[in-house]
Amino acid sequence: MRKIIASLDIGEASIKLIVGEIVKQKLNVLACVDKKAQGIKKGYIINVEKAAECLNDAFKEAEEKLGVRPNKVLVTVPSNSAIYYLMEGAINLKPEEVITGSDIMRLLQACVAKKIPDHEEIVSILPNKFRLNDNEVVENPLGMKAEKLATKAVAITVAKKAVHNIVSCLEKINVKVVDIALGSLGDFYLFKDEAKADEVGAIVNIGASKTEVAIFNKGILTNSEVIDIGGLNIDKDLSYIYKIKPRDALTVKEKMAVADKNLANPRESLIFENIQGEKIKINQYDASEYVIARLEEILNLAKKQINLLTKKEISYIIIVGGVSEISEFKNLVEQIMPNAYVGEIKEIGARHNKFSTALGLIKYYDSRLKLRDREFSIFNLEEQEELSGLSKKNNFSENSLLGKIFGYFFDN
């Protein structure tokens, strides 16, 4: 079976839907959709009808690209209410039998059993290595033998209401949520390597309405915070200063501004019509000054938040999110955060940092599947044939049931 996974990153400005296939540990993008969001504020659904309409449009576009409609998806949930618990658990095993994925899931369930408040929903349980018979420590115990299996893990929860609103909205368009995750997990797994598995670092995702700062300790997400400032604040600054429409302010930010005043050209300019109907000329140097001022504020706030979230020495800081695509942004990052760098997406078909979360979520879920020793695809064999163009196109949908399906350790 082909390993095809879909992920959905819900933001205030846009909805990103990625359908990708894992082939020999490499992610191939099959479809990439970026739709203007409606009915969504800071990742929360505030108008179900409008949100369902724009989500449905995103899945329709994916269907047009694939020839088959994705009806199962991983989805991000807002991290504003995230709580991190350090848990421990252990289970007894039959010594003559090898450890299976079901044993690992049973162990993770034991870590959280009767320990999570009713108003919270488990998002992820992230184990930090496993202990066999109270002495041998291993990364992955699959296929090994032991009489006792134990682990320490970080359990992440969010408010139930935020999760249920997203699931209900997707159910309205016949899309089933197979798992939920914080966006920071996707960002980390997109850029994960062997070195980061042994280091303490931070991920900073500068989105439209918020900036998320997350701390990873040896590959485990241990803390995060949301700063209520993002790319839309830059748009509002430019719109207010020049009295231009928000869409024109977005054009100035994305097409003309540079994040390094030394490289801004005062002779380069664009002409817009302001809200009074007058023609105005905006030059690159002046516009860049306003953009840089706001970017400096965002980066300094993120830097301060990292210091508040952990006292450990930080080995790396990765900056992602759509705002990081502003021209020469890396120069400004180097000035404010010398040990930070801007993430660079290499996956063909989604080479823009606004897709970092959605792309990384697929890699994150693939790693969870390996731990569970399970195969998974959003498409069955017949649908995979349609995807390959071996049979006629056939529209389909699958209704899902609302329930406690969340967290990778539950059976989907």
Q: Give, for all 412 residues of the chain, the pLDDT tens digit.
A: 789 999 999 998 999 999 999 998 899 999 999 999 999 988 889 999 999 999 999 999 999 999 999 999 999 999 999 999 999 999 999 988 899 999 999 999 999 999 999 999 999 999 999 999 988 999 999 999 999 999 999 999 999 988 999 999 999 999 999 999 999 999 999 999 988 988 999 999 999 999 999 999 999 999 999 999 999 999 999 999 999 999 999 999 999 999 999 999 999 999 999 999 999 999 999 999 999 999 999 999 999 999 999 999 999 999 999 999 999 999 999 999 999 999 999 999 999 999 999 999 999 999 999 999 999 999 888 888 888 664 343 333 343 333 333 343 344 4
Alpha carbon distance, N-terminus to C-terminus of the chain: 17
Q: For residues 128 and 117, give the distance between their C-alpha atoms in angstroms, rounded to a whole number.
A: 23
Interior angle at CA 191, CA 20 and CA 376, nearest 5: 30
The count of C-alpha atoms lying within 13 angstroms of the C-alpha of 333, restricted to the half-sphere facing its C-beta, is 21
Burial bucket for residue 388 (CB in 10 Å: 0-12, 13-18, 19+): exposed
Q: Is residue 322 part of a domain?
A: no
Q: Is residue 328 part of a domain?
A: no
What is the DSSP-derived secondary structure letter of residue 197?
G
CATH number at residue 256: 3.30.420.40
Residue where one domain finishes, among candidates 239, 263, 295: 295
Q: Is residue 405 part of a domain?
A: no
Q: Is residue 281 part of a domain?
A: yes
Q: Is the Cβ–Cβ distance between 39 and 25 less than 8 Å?
A: no
Q: For residues 373 and 151, give the distance between their C-alpha atoms in angstroms, rounded to a whole number.
A: 18
Q: Is residue 352 part of a domain?
A: no
Residue where one domain finishes, among candidates 267, 295, 323: 295
Q: Is 140 helix (H, G, I), strand (E, B) or coil?
A: coil
CATH number at residue 126: 3.30.1490.110
Q: Is residue 249 part of a domain?
A: yes
Q: Is residue 210 part of a domain?
A: no
Tally of domains within the chain: 2
pLDDT at 32: 97
pLDDT at 43: 83
Q: Is residue 340 part of a domain?
A: no
Burial bucket for residue 193 (CB in 10 Å: 0-12, 13-18, 19+): exposed
pLDDT at 390: 45
pLDDT at 389: 65
Q: For residues 369 and 376, give the distance between their C-alpha atoms in angstroms, rounded to a whole number.
A: 8
Domain with 256 in it: 231-295
Give every CB contact of residue 115 below 8 A, 6+ residues apart in sequence.
85, 87, 155
Residue where one domain finishes, among candidates 141, 159, 177: 159
Q: For residues 256 and 285, give the distance between their C-alpha atoms in angstroms, rounded to a whole number.
A: 9
